[in-house]
Structure 1
């Protein structure tokens, strides 16, 4: 009997250990690596006056009191989350990330952890998060929550503005704030988001935030969820911001978050929108380096999306729908020494995709490709293209120059995509070219 009890105890401990073990990162992030495009949504009371979200009062451009007056104008009367989700789906995005709470502390849901939320304090008088979650799920999109760790409005958070502190060291007040953060995260956990997008971690250490415990609590609630890098070392993927990387980030998993104009939230006077062509080319740049683009929109205070942003998402959708085979599930392309432009590879590396973002002056050129070519076609319409290998010498191991003709009539108005089917996984020549010894 005693031996049976010991065996049962050991089995129970082993099961508990398995329960506590994280799902491997590569499994949790598999969908993210395939997704390539997501939509960021910065929506909050800052859209009322069209000012910088949270930073405007933190930097002293406006008083905190005047900033909070925007609660009276935040009505969300034209908020149609189903239309949002349909537009996001139409753009070709595979996931969406909403600012549930920015640094100003205003929650978009009916938070019971504090009353600074749109239900208790704003003119909207309703939970804006719950219908968004339902709409995103209905479209089959992955759900992401942005959450600011810091809260410049909370009475127990040490920093109020860049110049003003509420206190220097007060363990009791700090612990109360940490408890508040965990309470809000527990409220959000009920929706089991696929992705957590933290921000504001720079003001405190991992130990102060209890970042390790935050990660554990999120994964306990949703074992498959993924976490961005802004959790003081406890995240899963890198998040470069605004500037397109010149070289791929060291992290295998990454996304570039970028605005359509120069503002995250809606600003009436910011009309400096990037063109659809520029955004498509930025997306291609990210894809070629193995990353994602998280493209931002900023709805107005009434919940409507500015017409300029709608037009860009629709243009983007035209291109992504046409070229989906060369976008989703692809992997980082070949070095630019081999092709003077953007490229990507299929998962099995047997298809090389060439992204042509200009009008070629003659045939495209690929150097150092050792594979034989089975077929070359225009992605999106299937037109077969002719090709020719030039300069291959029978006595040399150096591959010849592969030229591909791309007639003008098959070229896309933004970025043309060419598929090159190889006879096996891509094989590139990397040896040093030597002088002729015998021929």
Structure 2
């Protein structure tokens, strides 16, 4: 009996001690977040210059076709273009989406071999379907499909293994949500052109659905390089909402980068902001390149054919030459190039895209120093190609190799030395003329490194 009383006393004594002790402090993250300056925050992106856009979701299953009809424009708009009801879209598209051939490591390898430094995946497009395991809604790839895997998680992990920066695209507009654009069936996106079309419950969607899902993506998948918004054109979304969204992102991940479509300042497809105080870190020209350089950060996004999403009927593939020239042209004007692939419903990137990217990768293997970390040309565009610059070096990208072997360099560039980037062969400099070998080392774009005297 005495032993029992003694044990009870000891137990109560220990409990009392435990109750008087302070609770242990939550262990801090092993990697403290150091808030960078804006220039420091943008540095990796400005250095990268070349990234992969991935438009992928259930819309890849029909590939832009329904009952013998082909939707105009991008196949990712099929829900709107071919008049699906929400119920039909769920049954005919979402419920048969089973991308069993999806391989995140393979996708990242294709991007890396092409010389791309970052990947932007569509986490949710306008159809409202989430490509991650969202707790906000069951309308996602994990809970709604037999595939049942978190694509955002797998791709984020694959990117980090290969030192590729993972980023995500997110649609502000939502054709599936009852507090967003779903009420405008059969023309879900009528609000893009008719600003009188509005859903009075959109603020609830913004506060209770849109923001929480973005918060999930920024909380559960590690460091995010870029948050790439789209669909800001609807009347329901306001500049106040845009600034609120931007501030939330900066609180969650202060060193991420956000495009200008988070706010309402974008000037159409030209992509740069109109005058005013708008949130966002870079402009977004779509399928076009500014005529001249722009004195601010910008990124041009392009498709390889005419569609962002998978569309097998679209055979108008751009050539590797055109896309390499586009990359050079964009960098010569101080921009980034975000080039899209649209995997099919099984998770396979089209062969045509892979072949084009492989060719671009071959060119980048030999000439990437003229792209990575480069800035806009310090002089006007030459007739024979483009210039990019880095410190006291200018890179001459020669598209049209001169038959007489004499490359005329802008007189403002005081060239001290010149050599071919591919192979390093030294070239003779005679004033403003660089003497070239008879044959171009590259049929698409040969690059000459010009070291300047000043």
Cα distance in 1 for residues equivalent to 2:402 and 2:48:
29
Which residue matches 2:407? 364
Describe the shift of the 1:403–1:161 C-alpha distance in structure 2 as closer, same or farther (beyond 3 A).
farther
Alignment of 1:31-46 (within 5 A): 31-46=44-59
2:445 maps to 1:415: yes
Which residue matches 2:230? 199
Instruction: Give the deviation of 1:237 after TM superposition.
Output: 0.1
**What are the Cα deviations for residues 2-29 of structure 1, in whole angstroms up to 9, with x where unaligned?**
xxxxxxxxxxxxxxxxx99974322211
Which residue matches 1:100? 123
Which residue matches 2:279? 234
SS at match of 1:145: strand
Q: Using the TM superposition, name which of 31-40 and 114-123 deviates more.
A: 114-123
Which residue matches 1:130? 153
**What are the Cα deviations for residues 240-273 of structure 1, in whole angstroms up to 9, with x where unaligned?**
00122222245x2111000001110111111111
Instruction: Give the deviation of 1:406 after TM superposition.
Output: 1.8
Instruction: Give the deviation of 1:337 after TM superposition.
Output: 6.1
1:254–1:292 contact (8 Å) kept in structure 2 = yes
Q: Which of 167, 184, 190 is the equivalent residue of 1:160?
A: 184
Which residue matches 2:89? 67
Cα distance in 2 for residues equivalent to 1:337 and 1:54:
36
SS at match of 2:143: coil
Which residue matches 1:328? 372
Unpaired stretches in structure 2, ≥5 consecutive residues: 1-31, 65-73, 264-277
Instruction: Give the deviation of 1:112 after TM superposition.
Output: 1.0
SS at match of 2:427: coil
2:113–2:358 contact (8 Å) kept in structure 1 = yes
**What are the Cα deviations for residues 289-324 of structure 1, in whole angstroms up to 9, with x where unaligned?**
011110000111111111111111111111111112
Q: Using the TM superposition, name which of 218-227 and 51-60 deviates more.
A: 51-60
Which residue matches 2:29? none
SS at match of 2:279: coil
Describe the shift of the 1:327–1:173 C-alpha distance in structure 2 as closer, same or farther (beyond 3 A).
closer
**What are the Cα deviations for residues 70-126 of structure 1, in whole angstroms up to 9, with x where unaligned?**
113311101110111111111101110000000000000111111111122223222
Count of equivalent residues: 390
Cα distance in 1 for residues equivalent to 2:443 and 2:82:
45
Describe the shift of the 1:170–1:163 C-alpha distance in structure 2 as closer, same or farther (beyond 3 A).
closer
Describe the shift of the 1:339–1:156 C-alpha distance in structure 2 as closer, same or farther (beyond 3 A).
same
SS at match of 2:154: helix
Instruction: Give the deviation of 1:182 after TM superposition.
Output: 1.3
Unpaired stretches in structure 1, ≥5 consecutive residues: 1-18, 390-401, 425-439
2:379–2:412 contact (8 Å) kept in structure 1 = no
Which residue matches 1:353? 395
CA root-mean-square deviation: 2.5
Alignment of 1:258-269 (within 5 A): 258-269=302-313
Alignment of 1:275-290 (within 5 A): 275-290=319-334
Q: Which of 183, 201, 222 is the equivalent residue of 2:253?
A: 222
